């Protein structure tokens, strides 16, 4: 009437499949795992590259100072950061065009811009006059709107010595709307607006604000005291 319990257990098929597994199954799983790890690394790298491209194109870009036109503010071999977001949203190369503005360049700002005579080059100078200002230089002294400008950043390698031409006596000229007049802090050694005119507002790439690295291979290599140094005038 009742079956023996042992007989029932023996007739029930095993719950766990004990059949032998194919020999290549562990290798297939290992290959899948390796593909998954490789994919994760590739995706992380792609995200990092896209993020770096976005930051460089729209937020902050690094530049190196190749000449002494901004001495002593910026020295040859200084590596600087430029805020590209401070004046507006600007499309990167090859468009090089500002599509939205929310800030205006001011006198005293140190800016990086496209050189008007050669669009393949970037220049860095200090703004001394903006649209609507009348700028003049008399015997090396800067005047804006008829008022003498106290310019603490200007230096003169030749002292009081003057030469014929626009370097030491310039203007007066009125800066057109949407234009800027710029000069290098090293006034006697700067090729700037006195020689080639105005900077178009749309050609401004950004405002320099920080020295993140500085070195001079022919002197003492790393200039530790300049690293992290805010560029004078950049926060005024």
Per DSSP, the residues of 165-192 read STTTSEEEEEPPTTEEEEE-SBGGG---
How many alpha carbons lie under 13 Å from residue 109 in its C-beta half-sphere?
Answer: 21
Residues labelled as active-site residues: 69, 125
Question: What are the E-state strand segments in the chain?
Answer: 60-64, 78-83, 88-91, 97-101, 110-114, 122-130, 134-138, 141-144, 147-148, 170-174, 179-183, 199-200, 204-216, 221-222, 229-230
């Amino acid at each position: 009437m009742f079956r023996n319990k042992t007989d029932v257990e023996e007739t029930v098929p095993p719950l766990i499949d004990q059949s032998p597994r194919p020999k290549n199954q562990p290798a297939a799983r290992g290959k899948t795992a390796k593909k998954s790890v490789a994919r994760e690394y590739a995706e992380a790298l792609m995200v990092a590259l896209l993020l770096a491209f976005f930051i460089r194109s729209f937020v902050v870009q690094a530049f190196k100072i190749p000449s002494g036109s901004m001495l002593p503010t910026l020295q040859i071999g200084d590596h600087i950061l430029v805020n590209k977001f401070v004046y507006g949203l600007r499309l990167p190369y090859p468009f090089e065009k500002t599509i939205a503005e929310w800030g205006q360049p001011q006198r005293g700002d140190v800016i990086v811009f496209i050189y008007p005579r050669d669009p393949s080059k970037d220049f860095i100078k200090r703004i001394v006059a903006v649209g609507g200002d009348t700028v003049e230089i008399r015997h090396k002294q800067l005047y804006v709107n008829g008022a003498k400008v106290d310019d603490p950043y200007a230096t003169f390698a030749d002292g009081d010595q003057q030469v014929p031409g626009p370097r030491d006596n310039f203007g007066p000229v009125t800066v057109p709307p949407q234009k800027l007049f710029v000069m290098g802090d090293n006034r006697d050694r700067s090729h700037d607006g006195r020689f080639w005119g105005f900077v178009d507002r749309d050609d401004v790439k950004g405002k320099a604000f920080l020295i993140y690295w500085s070195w001079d291979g022919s002197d003492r290599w790393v200039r530790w005291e300049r690293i992290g140094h805010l560029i004078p005038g950049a926060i005024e």
